[in-house]
């Protein structure tokens, strides 16, 4: 191959960094053919030089100092795989783009918090900034929205964006076991981090959703506007109820363009998904994203949401695009032309809801709950009070509402807020249709 190689510096040698090295080694020849030139790692950096990572690093220059890594004359593109929204990752990203070099990153937190600043810097420097690996692992969904669906006004983007949560929920579904138990197993198997908060509380999915919404709607990244709820309060009994109704429970990130494109709604929340919906069949650590365009109709992208191989596949796809001369602003339109959208008010939305109460086992509780629903104008489609008492003499009451305003449900819960009958705060999930 006579063409000049694209020369890469790799910052961060964890799971994904190792995957990128293995991928470029295994598939180097075909990548050079497709990219029109070889893609070569020339230098690497990580915290601990001595650590055995199971890959041969002797071919690459080592830099202890990230700043020097970006500055090397023999480096065209920096691949940032350090992680963290700020700190060394952000410093490296700023320095790289400031030097007019390209940046490829898998760092969803950094893009969700600083994507606009970094995209602006990339555009000023006329340098590429790409982050396919930041959302949904190996699935080319950023490319799918930014390019594949580019002819469409997208109205809605939603999907399963966190593999850990999906693994936990689908395992709970398959085994009937409870959340804490399955989480512990997921940690032992490496599907969940020792500190799982980022995943199970929905933050990680919210980062990804905010990035997809920005690209899909031509808005700025508005991570602070995402309503976030995690899966920690889902019980085996909720999953059983959902199943009896023909639904599964999935953590869904959903973004909608509202009011003729003037407002944006973003929410991460466990939802009841009908068995017939493509997302209901998404099991284990798989991710899937649906995008609805005004001409394309419903597009679905599905695949592995994490793991060294899939994530490395997305990182290197970005590098191949750069090697081919792929151009264009990171968020599809230039940062200066993005139209920041105000947050839509979730309470003005309508839909069906699943409500679950843990109540004291005594007379009049059901009457109290149903009266609150009536007074708030919430119409109940089905209700079940579970026969056997739950832990500590508590009883589970689950209901599904008819289509109606979310505001009415919130009002009903407000009416019940001081009730001594409720042993815990109620759980509210939405139904996707």
Residues near its own copies (CB under 8 A) are: 19, 23, 26-27, 30-31, 33-36, 132, 138-140, 143-144, 147-153, 218, 276, 278, 281, 288, 293-304, 307, 309-310, 312-317, 319-321, 324-328, 332-333, 337
- Residue 320 phi/psi, 5° resolution? -65, -45
Residue placing its CB nearer to its own copies in the complex, 85 or 152: 152
Q: Which helix (H) or strand (E) holds 261?
A: none
Least distance from its own copies to the Cβ atom of residue 88, Å: 26
Q: Which residues pair with 272 in a beta bridge?
A: 249, 431
For residue 158, give the nearest of 236, 250, 245, 64 by alpha carbon: 250
Residue placing its CB nearer to its own copies in the complex, 340 or 377: 340
Least distance from its own copies to the Cβ atom of residue 252, Å: 17
Residue placing its CB nearer to its own copies in the complex, 143 or 430: 143
Least distance from its own copies to the Cβ atom of residue 244, Å: 20
Residue placing its CB nearer to its own copies in the complex, 83 or 303: 303
Q: What is the Cα–Cα distance from 265 to 99, expressed in whole angstroms?
A: 36
**Please, are residues 248 and 275 in contact by the beta-carbon 8 Å criterion?**
yes
Residue placing its CB nearer to its own copies in the complex, 32 or 231: 32
User: Contacts from 366-373 at CB under 8 Å and sequence distance 24+?
Assistant: 366/397, 368/416, 368/419, 368/421, 369/397, 369/416, 369/421, 372/412, 372/413, 372/415, 372/416, 373/399, 373/401, 373/412
- List CB contacts of 230: < 8 A, sequence separation 6 or more: 165, 200, 201, 202, 203, 251, 268, 270
Residue placing its CB nearer to its own copies in the complex, 150 or 384: 150
Least distance from its own copies to the Cβ atom of residue 45, Å: 22
**What tokens appear for 313 in the block?**
């596949």
Least distance from its own copies to the Cβ atom of residue 311, Å: 9
Least distance from its own copies to the Cβ atom of residue 174, Å: 12
**CB atoms closer than 10 angstroms to residue 203:** 19
Residue placing its CB nearer to its own copies in the complex, 27 or 85: 27
In the numeric block, the tokens 């600083």 are attached to 114
**Please, are residues 191 and 151 in contact by the beta-carbon 8 Å criterion?**
no
Least distance from its own copies to the Cβ atom of residue 140, Å: 3
**Please, are residues 209 and 266 in contact by the beta-carbon 8 Å criterion?**
yes
Residue 283 CB-density burial (10 A; 0-12 exposed, 13-18 middle, 19+ buried):
middle
Q: What is the Cα–Cα distance from 107 to 131, expressed in whole angstroms?
A: 7
**CB atoms closer than 10 angstroms to residue 399:** 20
Catalytic residues: 208
Q: What is the Cα–Cα distance from 112 to 129, expressed in whole angstroms?
A: 14
For residue 291, give the nearest of 281, 280, 279, 282 by alpha carbon: 279
Least distance from its own copies to the Cβ atom of residue 156, Å: 14
Residue placing its CB nearer to its own copies in the complex, 117 or 147: 147
């Amino acid at each position: 191959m006579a063409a000049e190689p694209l020369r890469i510096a790799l910052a961060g040698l964890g799971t994904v960094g190792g995957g990128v090295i293995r991928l470029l080694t295994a598939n180097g020849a075909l990548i050079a053919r497709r990219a029109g030139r070889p893609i070569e790692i020339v230098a690497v950096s990580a915290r601990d030089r001595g650590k055995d990572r199971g890959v041969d690093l002797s071919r690459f220059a080592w830099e202890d100092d990230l700043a020097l890594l970006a500055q090397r004359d023999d480096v065209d593109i920096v691949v940032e795989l350090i992680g963290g929204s700020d700190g060394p990752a952000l410093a490296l990203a700023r320095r790289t783009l400031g030097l007019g070099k390209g940046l490829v990153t898998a760092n969803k937190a950094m893009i969700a918090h600083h994507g606009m600043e970094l995209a602006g810097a990339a555009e000023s420097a006329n340098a590429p900034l790409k982050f396919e690996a930041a959302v949904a692992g190996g699935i080319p969904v950023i490319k799918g929205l930014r390019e594949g669906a580019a002819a469409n006004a997208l109205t809605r983007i939603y999907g399963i964006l966190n593999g850990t949560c999906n693994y936990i929920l689908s395992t709970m579904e398959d085994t009937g076991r409870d959340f804490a138990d399955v989480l512990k197993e997921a940690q032992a198997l490496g599907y969940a981090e020792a500190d799982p908060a980022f995943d199970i509380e929905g933050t990680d999915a919210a980062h990804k959703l905010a990035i997809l919404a920005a690209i899909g709607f031509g808005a700025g990244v508005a991570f602070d506007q995402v309503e976030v709820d995690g899966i920690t309060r889902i019980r085996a009994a909720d999953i059983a109820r959902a199943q009896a109704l023909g639904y599964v429970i999935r953590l869904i990130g959903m973004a909608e363009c509202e009011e003729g494109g003037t407002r944006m709604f973003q929410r991460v929340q466990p939802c009841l998904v009908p068995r017939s919906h493509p997302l209901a069949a998404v099991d284990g650590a798989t991710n899937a994203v649906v995008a609805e365009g005004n001409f394309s109709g419903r597009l679905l992208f599905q695949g592995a949401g994490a793991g060294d191989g899939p994530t490395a596949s997305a990182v290197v796809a970005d590098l191949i695009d750069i090697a081919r001369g792929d151009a264009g602003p990171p968020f599809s339109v230039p940062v200066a032309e993005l139209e920041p959208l105000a947050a839509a008010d979730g309470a003005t939305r309508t839909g069906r809801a699943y409500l679950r109460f843990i109540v004291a086992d005594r007379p009049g509780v059901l009457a109290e709950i149903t009266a609150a629903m009536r007074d708030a104008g919430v119409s109940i489609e089905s209700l079940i009070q579970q026969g056997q008492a739950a832990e500590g003499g508590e009883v589970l009451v689950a209901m599904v509402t008819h289509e109606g305003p979310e505001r009415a449900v919130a009002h009903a819960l407000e009416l019940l807020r001081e009730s001594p009958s409720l042993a815990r705060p109620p759980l509210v999930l939405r139904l996707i249709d």
